[in-house]
Structure 1
Amino acid sequence: MGHLIWLSPAQMRRIEPYFPLSHGIPRVDDRRIISGIIFVIKNGLRWRDAPKEYGPHKTIYNRFIRWSRLGVFNRIFSELAAKGGKPNELMIDATHLKAHRTAASLLKKGMFPDVSDAPKVG
């Protein structure tokens, strides 16, 4: 499948030093699982919707959760960012979350704490 994301061997060599050591039992192919994690997150998919080529969705999910709790991804990101030097340009993320239409009435009903310092109307 041409639309799948696969980390190159060079990319894997850059991040492998940050992987935790295996505890005697060989892990499932790191390249396949990490590529699956990236694919799922990049495309905003549910774990169970990961293409079969990346392996069982439960394995992809478990590796993501386990390594996230260990701080593996944070170390990878911070080290790669530190090695990159000062950026030539900065980007502003315009991502937003869409609230459900009933969310606006929660404050009026007293179901959502009012944390603003704005004067009360009415």
Structure 2
Amino acid sequence: MSDKILHILQHSLGVDQFGRGEQYRNHFVTGEGSIDHPICMEAVGLGLMVIRRAKYELYGGDDVFAVTPEGKLWMAMNSPAPPKLTRSQRHYQRYLDADCGETFGEWLQLQERRRKANAA
């Protein structure tokens, strides 16, 4: 069950399967009778989540769960380590992180020009 709790905590916080990301949200909406509701209730019992039974119309009357500070720590401690990337994969990841609007080929050419300019 801990794998299912981990997945729900990660999803609630908006991070990937390795726990990486901005944690740009903190909620999980599910209702009684769903597959996820008992998992969230178990997380509440463990102190990893809290439940808000406000039954907001916005959420169709379902329960809204939020991850506690203890749940955030548990998620970080139990998320697997990301896989090792090859040199090429790390290079491509730097391109993605740059979010520059250029194609990968254009970005590579720019990097090569910068490398040559710094070497001169």
Measured against the shorter chain, the TM-score band is: under 0.3
Higher strand share: 2
Q: Tell me which of the two structures has the higher relative contact order, counting C-alpha pairs closer than 8 angstroms and 6 or more residues apart.
A: 2
Provide TM-score, normalisation by structure 1: 0.25
